[in-house]
Chain A
């Protein structure tokens, strides 16, 4: 593990990227990590690109600066590839986890690999929505948690229970399905 294990969450306002970062940090803390969950620094705007970050380490983290690139880039909305320079957000040895059925055009050869999970399908199956926006964050927590190699599914479910009150059963199912369905992207 490098000095810090960094995750960049990129989604649109309302998709729950900030909450996803919080749950991953909670899971990491329960495993003895020093964990930061850093939300987008600004006014919240529905539909606009929104960042959140995690910094995880076995020792105390002093840095509070923004994360420039992640060991994992969690892309909650693949349409953001045309809006944000997604390539710059992945460390050379990092991976992409994307909410998509198949690999995203234009992101070939990014980092060490691309992992896909159809988080939108999972959110719709479970009817996980707030104000009509499907909450793709919870399947992404499961997928990112698994791809990171740092967690067991149990850790993520316990962290979800610690942080989420509304629609808890569906949220737990969403994490589990994300964990189960994530795989290397197919072309």
Chain B
């Protein structure tokens, strides 16, 4: 079935199709329409979930930690300051190995106050143990949300997963979205994983761990995160069989094969990058584009394979990283260094705080990158 949906509604439809047991969230622009739509689904009986109303994002995640601890399938969504308010328990969810799924509609962090897209909120949780996915369209929001449940609840992983997408360009833009006929063919059966707590076998979570115990807990998390790419690829493979849409590598390459320069981006700006690649190719300039879907764990090997032998990599970072290269560019640099690749790396901070980035901007970035040294530059637009 194909529906005209915003990115936020696409998330709500995916959650409906995943049939979680417990949802808890606190409203914040631009996330709120997700939760409004889920409330409608619960009201109409299409979704048989318990909605726990709370007074903050911190409590929303805490409610889900309680629910997931006894085996519930769960969902929450937030943005920006909401994620920062939730931050402490975001780490608790990962450390407790609870397969909670969260939607994150990326929004700039204040000050100054701003409701538009910026990936600063997303990057704040990059080392927390959450599997992190980034969607660049409403269709990808739907698909990756379903995949997030598959990865989170897999017995080899048991870590929370989040799916992010840009405020407004994706969250509020309507586009055709193809739904999966029968999501149960994709998702794991409910109760396929063993929760840490059960009423009949009393225990507690979150006790003091002495250094060796703490280190062992973290080592096990490291092991689990290492298994994510394979589990992700398996789930994406099942989705491909059902729909033909393929996310299994965790990234997409467009016209990369014979490219000398490759743009790297996440989110809605990738559409502009893709158009710019076509425009530059039409003039005989060999460029390609790489879009990251699976951000954590980062696909170092795959990205390095794509970039090996290229002359230049241009990273579009939708955030300002003060005092260092942005996280996405740092990850690309790491991928190159691990493989011993010598590729000029130029990062542009672009689209910060919702600034519109156009195809012409991206073409102009290419020209600017040729003239400049490797490093990070702030793109002020034309």
Listed in ascending order, the chain A residues whose CB lies under 8 Å from chain B are: 21-22, 25-26, 29, 34-39, 41-43, 61-66, 68
Which of A34, A35, A38, A62 meets B270, CB within 8 Å?
A62
Indicate if B122 sits at the interface (CB-CB under 8 A): no
Q: Collect the chain B residues with CB atoms within 8 Å of residue A22's CB.
A: 4, 174
Contact call B270/A36, Cβ cutoff below 8 A: no
A37 neighbours in B (Cβ, 8 Å): 4, 173-174
* Partner-A contacts on B (CB < 8 A): 2, 4, 29, 115-116, 136-137, 166-170, 172-176, 268-272, 274-275, 354, 356-359
Instruction: With A25-B4, A39-B168 given, name 16 new contacts (CB 8 A).
Output: A22-B174, A26-B4, A34-B176, A35-B174, A35-B176, A41-B116, A41-B168, A43-B29, A43-B115, A61-B271, A62-B137, A63-B272, A64-B166, A64-B271, A65-B271, A66-B356
In the complex the two chains form, is B174's CB within 8 Å of A64's CB? no
Residue among B2, B175, B274, B357 having the largest count of chain A Cβ atoms under 10 Å: B175
Could you tell me if A63 and B4 are in contact, using CB atoms closer than 8 angstroms? Answer: no
The residue from A36, A43, A65, A68 contacting B174, defined by CB atoms under 8 A apart? A36
Q: Nearest Cβ distance between residue A39 and chain B, in whole angstroms? A: 5
* Contact, CB under 8 Å: B274 / A29: no
Interface pair A38/B359, CB less than 8 Å apart: no
Cβ of A29: which chain B residues have Cβ within 8 Å of it? 2, 4, 176
User: Within the assembled complex, what's the spacing in Å between the Cα atoms of A68 and B382?
Assistant: 14
Q: Which 6 A-B pairs have the closest CB atoms?
A: A62-B271, A37-B174, A64-B268, A64-B169, A41-B168, A63-B271
Q: CA A25 – CA B169 in complex, angstroms?
A: 16
Q: Give min CB distance, B55 to chain A, whole Å.
A: 23
Who on chain B is nearest to A163 by CB?
Answer: B4
Bound Cα distance from A39 to B356, whole angstroms: 14
Q: Report yes or no: B356 in contact with A35, Cβ–Cβ below 8 A.
A: no
Within the complex, the shortest CB–CB distance from B254 to chain A, in Å, comes to 9
CA distance A66 to B356 in the complex (A): 7
Closest to B136 in A: A64
Q: List 30 A-B contacts (CB under 8 A).
A: A22-B174, A25-B4, A25-B174, A34-B176, A35-B174, A35-B176, A36-B173, A36-B174, A37-B173, A38-B174, A41-B116, A41-B168, A41-B169, A41-B172, A41-B354, A62-B270, A62-B271, A62-B274, A62-B275, A63-B271, A64-B136, A64-B137, A64-B170, A64-B272, A65-B169, A65-B272, A65-B356, A65-B358, A65-B359, A68-B358
B-side contacts of A66, CB under 8 Å = 356
Establish whether residues B173 and A64, one from each chain, have CB atoms under 8 Å apart when the complex forms. Answer: yes
Give min CB distance, A63 to chain B, whole Å.
Answer: 4
CA distance A29 to B275 in the complex (A): 22
Which A residues are in CB contact (< 8 Å) with B174? 21-22, 25, 35-38
Q: Which residues of A contact B354 (CB under 8 A)?
A: 41
Q: Which residue of B lies closest to A22 (CB)?
A: B174
CA distance A37 to B272 in the complex (A): 17
A18 to chain B: closest residue by CB: B172
In the bound complex, how far is the Cα of B172 from the Cα of A38, in angstroms?
7
CB-defined contacts of B272 to chain A, threshold 8 Å: 62-65
Residues of A within 8 A of B172 (CB): 38-39, 41
Kindly report which residue of chain B lies nearest to residue A42, judged by CB atoms.
Answer: B115
Known contacts A34-B176, A37-B173; is-contact A65 B357 (Cβ 8 Å): yes
Chain A residues with Cβ below 8 Å from B136 are: 64
Bound CA span A65–B136, Å: 12
List, in ascending order, chain A residues with CB within 8 A of B4's CB. Answer: 22, 25-26, 29, 35, 37
Q: How far is it, in angstroms, between the C-alpha of A21 and the C-alpha of B354 when the chains are bound? A: 21
User: Does B175 lie within 8 Å of A36, measured CB to CB?
Assistant: yes
